[in-house]
Homo-oligomer: A and B are copies of this chain.
Amino acid sequence: MSQVESGRVEPPRPALKRRERLRQSTVEEIVAVGRSLLREGRDVTLRAVAAEMGFTAPALYRYVGSVAALNELLSSDIFAEIVREMAAAAEPYGEDDPAAQMVAAATAFRCWALTHVDEFRLVFHTNSLSGEHVARAEAGRPRHPLAPTGPDAAGGVQLFADFFGRIFIRLSQRHPFPVPAREELDEDFVAVHSPGGEGKPDLAALLGEDGLGLIWLFELSWAQLYGIVTLEVFGHVRSQLVRSGSLFTAVMREIGRRAGMGADWERLTAVSQEVLARRA
């Protein structure tokens, strides 16, 4: 806590920190302004952000590096907000009612998405969250000398997956439900989630015998939730009237049935509507 008890030779001088802090807060303001522009439906352009903050476009390059990086920042911020929102919706039902938490979070997610179309698009409509695309784009380009080499911006969806994943695991522990056995699973899927694969093999091992099947069901559920929400948000479904929830409810019910929530679905429907009511 103090400057003394640190064993390092470089005690964090408050003076040096000050610059650092100012810089940080400027970045935060940039993100905030960007989000506010997004919310108002205006284009998020470097010049617009700069103007809103009272200075000119090139100045932003001291903080951001490129418009792509700005989007990355915005994306992270938005992800954080979604997760925060979902957590708030799930919290009242307590850790020992994961089914209710799941339904509440999913409902909040859909609701947020429908009321924040532009933000949702920015986050989910950009393909390749893993930055492959970005890497390719920045490969040829000469790096801007001013570009900050921030180690952040990684993940983003990760927060998201983790949040749902945690609830899902608790759910399976409280009320175990049938999951496909390892032999039933697609071999490619098994390969990905095995030691040496890319997909958090530690997690699969940590979950024990049924780990793989559980992860499989989780991904399937996420696919369906994402699918229905995207469909509703981008309007590829018959207008706002159907958007009033029946499709979403049906998909949720199917997900819920698979995860053993079929029994008290009536109660869970009530939960979903509570979340909606609380938001309005």
Chain A's interface size range is: 35 or more
Contact of A188 among B125, B127, B219, B242 (CB under 8 A): B242
Contact of A238 among B198, B220, B231 (CB under 8 A): B198
Q: Known: A223-B227, A226-B236, A230-B227. Contact between A245 and B127, CB under 8 A?
A: no
Query: Are B130 and A245 neighbours in the complex by a CB distance under 8 Å?
Result: no
Q: How far is the CB of A186 from chain B (nearest CB, A)?
A: 3
Give Cα A223 to B226, complex, Å. Answer: 10
Query: Are A234 and B124 neighbours in the complex by a CB distance under 8 Å?
Result: yes
Give Cα A126 to B233, complex, Å. Answer: 11
Judge whether A67 is part of the interface by a CB distance below 8 angstroms. Answer: no
Within 8 A of B (CB), among A117-164: 117, 121, 124-130, 157
Contact of A246 among B188, B235, B238, B241 (CB under 8 A): B188
Closest to A227 in B: B227
Judge whether A27 is part of the interface by a CB distance below 8 angstroms. Answer: no
Query: Are B219 and A223 neighbours in the complex by a CB distance under 8 Å?
Result: no
Measured CB to CB, the residues of A under 8 A from B are 117, 121, 124-130, 157, 185-186, 188-189, 191-192, 197-199, 219-220, 223-224, 226-228, 230-231, 233-239, 241-242, 244-247, 249-251, 254
Query: Are A231 and B226 neighbours in the complex by a CB distance under 8 Å?
Result: yes
Query: Are A241 and B192 neighbours in the complex by a CB distance under 8 Å?
Result: yes
Query: Are A235 and B127 neighbours in the complex by a CB distance under 8 Å?
Result: yes
Query: Are A227 and B231 neighbours in the complex by a CB distance under 8 Å?
Result: yes
Query: Are B188 and A236 neighbours in the complex by a CB distance under 8 Å?
Result: no
Top 8 nearest A-B pairs by Cβ distance? A227-B227, A186-B246, A127-B234, A188-B244, A128-B235, A192-B241, A189-B246, A199-B238
Give Cα A129 to B244, complex, Å. Answer: 18
Q: Known: A188-B242, A226-B231, A228-B227. Contact between A250 and B127, CB under 8 A?
A: no
Query: Are B186 and A245 neighbours in the complex by a CB distance under 8 Å?
Result: yes
Q: How far is the CB of A190 from chain B (nearest CB, A)?
A: 9
Chain B neighbourhood of A250, CB < 8 A: 220
Closest to A258 in B: B254
Query: Are A239 and B127 neighbours in the complex by a CB distance under 8 Å?
Result: no
Query: Are B199 and A236 neighbours in the complex by a CB distance under 8 Å?
Result: no
22 A-B residue pairings within 8 Å (CB atoms): A121-B125, A121-B127, A124-B236, A128-B234, A128-B235, A129-B235, A130-B235, A130-B239, A186-B245, A186-B246, A186-B249, A192-B242, A198-B238, A199-B239, A199-B242, A219-B242, A223-B237, A223-B251, A224-B227, A224-B251, A227-B231, A230-B230
